[in-house]
């Protein structure tokens, strides 16, 4: 159990450090700056409740028979997704703590999975770790990028590079 905990702690730290670097350098295309951000924020002020929105969208309770009436006028025009919050906060402490806990739990689950293998070496650990990262990427980030036309290349890199490093670490550590 000690080997599992140490493996998960170090692996979680690897993921955590990668995510810090990744969000500072790779994900800029997913958080672009708008020159007129003050104007946009002012325009939205008081018009939305906190939440996530897709514009245009049919109103709640509208039937599929009404789809043509609600959707056709917007075809070929602009659309957007909005994550609207009414209170900007920069308290990173709890978010970073939660992020590390999730990284630890994720690598712990991977260690548990490796414990079910007959034997583990660096090659099989790297390949299996990358497979786990790619499964998450394909079923979440990539699928969302298909429907919402977003840039998922940073997420693909995040699914491969850190999970390969974690796999190498676990392959070395768990095979000792």
d(CA 57, CA 81): 10
Residue 29: per-residue pLDDT: 86
* pLDDT value for 1: 87
pLDDT per position in the chain (176 positions), as tens? 899 999 999 999 999 999 999 999 999 888 889 999 999 999 999 899 999 998 898 888 888 888 888 888 989 999 999 899 988 888 889 999 999 999 999 999 999 999 999 889 999 999 999 999 999 999 999 999 999 999 999 999 999 999 999 999 999 999 87
Mention every residue, 6+ apart, whose C-beta is less than 8 A from residue 75: none
Question: Could you tell me the residue ranges of all domains in the chain?
Answer: 2-34+91-174
CB 22 within 8 A of CB 109: no
Strands 80-84 and 51-55: antiparallel
């Amino acid at each position: 159990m000690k080997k599992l905990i140490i493996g998960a702690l170090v692996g979680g730290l690897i993921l955590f450090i990668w995510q810090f670097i990744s969000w500072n350098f790779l994900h800029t295309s997913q958080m672009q700056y708008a020159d007129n951000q003050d104007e946009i924020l002012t325009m939205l002020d008081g018009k939305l409740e906190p939440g996530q929105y897709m514009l245009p969208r049919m109103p709640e309770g509208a039937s599929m028979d009404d789809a043509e009436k609600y959707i056709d006028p917007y075809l070929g025009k602009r659309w957007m997704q909005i994550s609207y919050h009414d209170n900007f906060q920069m308290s990173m402490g709890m978010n970073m703590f939660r992020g590390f806990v999730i990284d630890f739990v994720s690598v712990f689950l991977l260690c548990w999975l490796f414990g079910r293998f007959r034997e583990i070496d660096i090659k099989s650990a790297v390949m299996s770790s990358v497979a786990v990262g790619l499964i998450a990427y394909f079923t979440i980030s990539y699928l969302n990028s298909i429907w919402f036309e977003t840039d998922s290349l940073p997420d693909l890199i995040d699914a491969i590079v850190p999970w390969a490093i974690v796999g190498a670490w676990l392959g070395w550590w768990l095979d000792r």
